[in-house]
Structure 1
Amino acid sequence: MSAADPGFRHLLRMSDDTGLFEHARHAVVRRDHGYCTDDVARGLIVASREPRPARRLTRLAECYLAFLTHAQDRSGAFRNRLTFDRHWSEPPGVGDWWGRAMWGLGTAAARNAIPWIRDEALHAFVLGAEQRSPYPRAMAFAGLGAAEVLRTRTDNTVAASLLMDAVEAIGAPSEDPSWPWPQPHLTYANAALAEVIIAAGDLSDDRQLLTTGLRMLSWLSDIQTRDGLLAVVPATGWRQDTPRDRYDQQPIEVAALADACATAAYVTGDDAWQERVRRSVAWFQGANDAGVPMWDPATGGGYDGLTEHGPNLNQGAESTIALISTMQHAGRLS
């Protein structure tokens, strides 16, 4: 492992035989905050993306899959938060955690190197696909899982239906050329919305839908680039026709943009999208508004946010997985 590669060291540190802890104080796990389905699903995604996983990474995927199947009820909904003493603190639902669980299960069903994990993940995905969420982002995350399934199982009607319902939930972008987006504000994981539309257009051979998604992503990428550097919409979000804050920039935004641009590169074969993936990689390496690296080489952990005073040095699960996910794309760049 090179000094430039965070690997899975901190993800292993943040995990136990139950799941993945949500928070850390610097690199030290905050067990009192417990686990959440959101982050376990993210962990399953990055573990399943590795084509030749080491044994301990396979064990992580097994653990994360077991957590998600335990979180899922008979209707296909998911519980989100599990305390350290293994008690669910919330009832099953279809919020963002349902969408991310579906994304994780879809990715594992399509990409995991272990056949039985693929089979079990698909079983849980199909059950979860009986549900729909009223929240566009939850539907977008679930749609990304459906797209993963369809890339390897083109005749899976359950995944196809979920993917198109996700497109409908996201909605059509505004006709305003200065804001070609389905909503009047940008909040979190924004690029996921464009990525779903791109994937749906490609998988359904709908050129108009594909063009719409690419146009959305191009605009989002352009407005988040300043002087050649990535400067993502901060945690406070950004509403049309209002001033935009510079900080607190979140790693999840960078990772979502890298994912979407990598999908665009795969679908179109256009190397310009790979260059946009490189901007996300560079953001973690220090090509950002503060000029500082956004991860700790000593631990392999990703910092929790870019503030006006520099990095938030806490290394939670979401930020660490955002780092790993983006660096996985870096390893595939030509």
Structure 2
Amino acid sequence: MQSAAQVKPLKGTLELKHLPEVKFSHIRNMTDDTGIIQHAIFNIPNRKEGYCIDDNARALLLCVLAGKDKSNELDPDLLQVYLSFIHYMQTPNGEFKNFMSYTKVAEEERGSEDSFGRTMMALGFLANEAPSRSLSRTGVELFTKAYCHIEKLRSIRGIANSIIGVCQFIKFNYPDDIKRDLVIQLANQMVSMYEDNKRAKWHWFEPVLTYDNAILPLALLNAYEITSDEAYLTVAFEAMDFLESKVFHNGVLSPIGNEGWLERGKTAAQFDQQGIDAMAMVLFYQQAYRVTRDEKYLVRMYKSYQWFLGKNDLGLSLYDESTGGCADGLHSTGINLNQGAESTLAYWISHIIVASTFKE
């Protein structure tokens, strides 16, 4: 088990005061032989809602990240379950279906571009950081089969997640000039979207702030790491400065609510706040610290993680230490007591990232 006492302080500037013990029981509870089930009724799997590749890709990413530290006690067989689900959902031409019913029916021709990007991101991490050569080879095979579809993406989140996945793959197969050229193409596309939407008081890639926002500047930080193009670094930090001005209030993270989002020139919706937004912030700050070695990003990473533990607008913990699950959102009247896969995985990915980064 990993506790706060085992995590090193930050060179005298910050100490992790509360980091719950690792408890993956709810992850195991939500997973069967097919994959991780999407939703829960409180902490009971809601089998009527079936499975999706979004959550199985996140679960695969969690297994890769957690597997680097043997003290995490995550069953290694779970990684094969999630990877097998992704393999099954890949279509003959390399795309991915997203949704599957509990009766094992997947009727879509293909899933969304966002789910495609999340899957490519997870497969990129698997290729680069898998616990075994055979698992890495499987990740490479699935990634390679889907790769030809990346340049056709139009969804900015699909593009951003794919950039991260391709950058991980380049680290696995370095150097790779062809994939580097694709990163440049996609990153330039993101920069163009940023410039098209930028206004005097609006420094963002779209005319609205919605969900999973920090993934967008995170992608450009990954592109910078591979290409050393300062333009990507500049846009990433400028956009993140803007995002921070909208979601940090008195040092407390308050993600954009999904009951209206934040349209340019309007007021942000405060609720409902989702765990994937806090996770995206954690991932961004980890990469920002790796690129700059500036410890201020570790402080912000920890503050973002604390959103799950009660440092939020309502002062309520979404993480449930009794089950190892995480509430599905922060509402104006309290927390959503259902502990679905997306929120629980968002918590545990954030936890593992924080713990591992502070151990470096």
TM-score for the superposition, normalised by structure 2: 0.88
Deviation at 1:176, TM superposition (A): 2.8
Match of 1:49 in 2: 65
Pair 1:118–1:206, CA change in 2 (3 A): same
Pair 1:57–1:214, CA change in 2 (3 A): farther
Pair 1:6–1:290, CA change in 2 (3 A): farther
- Within the candidate set 41, 45, 70, 1:29 is matched to 45
Match of 1:290 in 2: 314
Deviations 1:43-83, CA, capped at 9 Å, x for gaps = 10111012035785321111111111111122211011111
SS at match of 2:148: coil
Does 2:271 match 1:247? yes
- Within the candidate set 162, 170, 175, 1:142 is matched to 162
Match of 2:255 in 1: 232
Q: Find the aligned partners of 1:240 and 1:88 in 2 and give their Cα distance.
A: 38
Amino acid at match of 1:299: T
Match of 2:140 in 1: 122
Q: Find the aligned partners of 2:182 and 2:24 in 1 and give their Cα distance.
A: 31
SS at match of 1:315: coil
| 8 Å CA contact 2:63, 2:74 repeated in 1 | no
Structure 1, 28-37 or 84-93: larger mean CA deviation? 84-93
Deviations 1:266-303, CA, capped at 9 Å, x for gaps = 11111111111011111111110000111111111011
Q: Find the aligned partners of 2:309 and 2:126 in 1 and give their Cα distance.
A: 28
Q: Find the aligned partners of 1:217 and 1:99 in 2 and give their Cα distance.
A: 21
SS at match of 1:77: coil
Q: How many matched pairs?
A: 334
Deviation at 1:219, TM superposition (A): 2.2
Structure 1, 280-289 or 85-94: larger mean CA deviation? 85-94
In the alignment, structure 2 segments of 5+ residues that lack a partner are 4-18
SS at match of 1:273: helix
Pair 1:231–1:134, CA change in 2 (3 A): same
Deviation at 1:95, TM superposition (A): 1.9
Match of 1:214 in 2: 237
SS at match of 1:129: helix
- Within the candidate set 283, 286, 294, 1:259 is matched to 283
SS at match of 1:311: strand
Amino acid at match of 1:83: S
Identity of aligned residues (%): 28
Does 2:222 match 1:199? yes
Match of 1:15 in 2: 31
Aligned-pair Cα RMSD in Å:
1.7
Q: Find the aligned partners of 1:165 and 1:58 in 2 and give their Cα distance.
A: 36
Pair 1:170–1:208, CA change in 2 (3 A): closer
Amino acid at match of 1:98: F
Q: Structure 1 residue runs of 4+, over 6 Å off?
A: none
Match of 2:211 in 1: 188
Pair 1:178–1:6, CA change in 2 (3 A): farther
Map residues 33-182 of structure 1 onto 2, 5 A cutoff: 33-50=49-66, 51-53=68-70, 57-93=75-111, 95-131=113-149, 132-157=152-177, 159-172=179-192, 173-174=194-195, 175-182=198-205
Q: Find the aligned partners of 1:94 and 1:154 in 2 and give their Cα distance.
A: 29
SS at match of 1:233: coil
In the alignment, structure 1 segments of 5+ residues that lack a partner are none
Q: Find the aligned partners of 2:341 and 2:322 in 1 and give their Cα distance.
A: 16
Deviation at 1:147, TM superposition (A): 1.7
